[in-house]
Amino acid sequence: MYEVEEYIIPFKGLPLGSHSFEWSVGKDFFASYEMSEIDDANINVQATLVKHTQFLEVELQIAGQAEVQCDRCLDPLLVDIDTEVAMYVKFGETPGEEDDDENDVIILSHNDMELDMQHYIYEYVHLALPIKKVHGEGKCNKEMMARLEQYLVKA
């Protein structure tokens, strides 16, 4: 198991086969992104990289909790995160991302020696958030709910 703080997978020197990496992401990780919905987090990311002769296969298991703002009352809300993602890394002349209906495909230059996972971890955690982020019935901030009730238009 490799422990890398900077979310880097140094694939160039790795032998063919399976390799494991693990990172923990929290408040500081998400604070480095200006538009992050996540205020705090305790999330574990486990990556399994399978190095093939022509491409890399990366499976991410992301689990933990994230603190976000409730869409209804704006108070903090803990949300469970539990997702698995598969990525494929190919090598080519034009680095970037390729659109594939079922899988994320990243194209790196033949000269690249490492894969920076930071932005991908950020994106996959945000994609794992529920669309509607609200407290359970009766759990929202009472003062805010009373204020919202004042402005509710009744038909």
User: What's the pTM value of the predicted model, to 2 decimals?
Assistant: 0.87
Three-state secondary structure call for residue 114: coil
What's the CA gap between 68 and 155, in Å, rounded? 32
Given its phi and psi angles, is residue 131 left (phi above 0), alpha (psi -120 to 50 degrees) or beta? Answer: alpha
* 19-to-11, 50, 83, 90, 108 alpha-carbon distances in Å: 9, 6, 20, 17, 19
Give the model confidence (pLDDT) of 110-143 as tens digits: 889 999 999 999 999 999 999 999 999 989 999 9
Give the model confidence (pLDDT) of 93-114 as tens digits: 776 666 565 578 889 988 899 9
- ∠ CA 132-133-136, nearest 5°, is 105
